[in-house]
Amino acid sequence: MSSSNGYSTFDAHAHLVETEETWRSMPSSADAYRPRVVPGEDAEHWFVYGQIRTRKSPTSLPRLADVNDPAARVALLDQLGIDVQVLYPTMLRERVADRGEIEAPICEAYNRWAGDICRRSNGRLRWVCSLPVLNIQDALDQMKAAKDHGACGIVIRPIEGELLLFEPYFDPLYERASSLDLPICVQSGNGNPRMVQELGRYYEGTEYWQYKLAAVGAVYHAMLRENVAQRFPQLRVGLMGAGAQNMVYPVNERRRFFARTDPAQGENLLETHHVWVSLAASDDIPYVVDRFGADRLLLGTELGHDDKAATLERLRSLRESGAISQAVYQRITCDNAKAFYGLS
């Protein structure tokens, strides 16, 4: 399916929602590590080998009875006018284990499950693999297997325990991702359980502090400040689910630094440092386009956590009103995602 203008609409960031079915392929030797749903006072939780994680997203929505059913999802994509959608995990945006031997079979099962869902979509659904980063060799092995089974990217959390993404610990991942031509997708999330707990314990609606700012800070430090792209010039990095407008302040701070040292380096920072950013419906999109240009902005609906595709509707409205041009609209909804994920 493609639009009458001859190009397709690519949704660069949507979600699957894990269920107990997700872990069916875990071997019996890892049964003790298998995530299980347990009741709580006001919500269900995941129980993972002595650790509790809240289940934060339903698997049924008004226009999508089962968010993990590929046929139902493709039918909704047809209604929305979306041709290809890239799927991300939900539960795994937080750390689910503190030992590599627990994390590895959980990630492997998720990747098999996500890959199977996408294989039944006739090419309409794509997926990014989740890696067991507590053991780098396990992560490298799973990365290659995921690529062989159709993954189009690698999703990592912005903080992993006490580690930030610019640290040398992650260099083998970046090197392998570059060689496999897979982008690094920094999803709004947080792999530091204590930070998640502290930032979320006082009131509802704290995901902005728990997840989004962590992702913005991680991409800023790794790419714009520590310049990981200089060490890995083929690497592509995406900031997913945090909103592009949240990047305006850190990019401006970096521009101010270069204004004092080397003004030319302060231009086109996202392009220079190989960074793409997904838009949110709440972003002031014309302002973001003015600050960053259109070439590194992505459509991300987060479909699966809701069923409205509000960001796409917002982009269409702006195009119809003339607030953004047709050329800008096409780059954001098609060309940029194809370049980021290496899709045709």
Whether the Cβ atoms of residue 201 and residue 147 lie closer than 8 Å to each other: no
Nearest to 220 by CA among 269, 178, 265, 267: 269
Give the three-state DSSP class for 220: helix
DSSP 23: G
Spatial distance between the Cα atoms of 154 and 174, rounded to a whole number of angstroms:
10
Spatial distance between the Cα atoms of 309 and 70, rounded to a whole number of angstroms:
17
β pairing state of 163-164 and 159-160: antiparallel
The pLDDT profile of the chain, 344 residues, written as one tens digit per residue, is 554 455 699 999 999 999 999 999 999 999 999 999 998 877 888 999 988 887 777 888 999 999 999 999 999 999 999 999 999 999 998 888 889 999 999 999 999 999 999 999 999 999 999 999 999 999 999 999 999 999 999 999 988 888 889 999 999 999 999 999 999 999 988 877 787 777 776 556 677 777 887 888 888 878 888 888 889 999 999 999 989 998 998 888 888 888 888 777 777 888 888 999 999 999 999 999 999 999 999 999 999 998 889 999 999 999 999 999 999 999 999 999 999 999 87
Nearest to 315 by CA among 276, 288, 342: 288
Indicate the residue type of 53: R
Spatial distance between the Cα atoms of 20 and 161, rounded to a whole number of angstroms:
25
Q: Which domains does the chain have, with CATH numbers?
A: 10-32+62-341 (3.20.20.140)
What pLDDT, on the 0 to 100 scale, is given for residue 4?
42
- Identify the bridge partners of residue 127 per DSSP, sorted by sequence position: 87
Q: How far is CA 307 from CA 24, 55, 86, 95, 302, in A?
A: 26, 18, 15, 26, 8
Whether the Cβ atoms of residue 153 and residue 183 lie closer than 8 Å to each other: yes
Q: What are phi and psi of 146, to 5 degrees?
A: -65, -45
Q: What are phi and psi of 160, to 5 degrees?
A: -120, 100
Tokens of 39: 């009741």
SS3 content of the chain, % helix, strand, coil (to 5): 45, 15, 35
Tokens of 142: 């799973």
Sequence-distant (≥ 6) Cβ neighbours of residue 26 within 8 angstroms: 33, 34, 105, 106, 108, 109
Measured at the CA of 56, the angle between CA 54 and CA 58, to 5 degrees, comes to 130
Tokens of 11: 């949704």
Return the C-alpha torsion angle 72, 88, 280, 203, nearest 10: 100
Indicate the residue type of 278: S
- Identify the bridge partners of residue 46 per DSSP, sorted by sequence position: 37, 53
What pLDDT, on the 0 to 100 scale, is given for residue 41?
78
β pairing state of 159-160 and 125-127: unpaired
